[in-house]
Amino acid sequence: MPYAATFTPEALTRAEVDAKRGPMVLEFGTNWCGWCRGAQPHVQAAFAQAGTDVPHVKVEDGPGRRLGRSYGVRLWPTLVFLRDGAEVDRLVRPQGAAEIAQALGRISDA
pLDDT of residue 53: 85
CA diameter of the chain: 35
Q: How confident is the model at residue 4 (pLDDT cuts 50, 70, 90)?
A: low
Give Cβ neighbours of residue 9 (< 8 Å, ≥ 6 apart). Answer: 60
Q: Domains, the chain, ranges and CATH? A: 14-108 (3.40.30.10)
Q: Is the CB of residue 29 less than 8 Å from the CB of residue 61? A: yes
pLDDT of residue 10: 75
Dist. CA 54–CA 51, nearest whole Å: 9
Q: C-alpha angle 70/72/32, rounded to 5°? A: 100
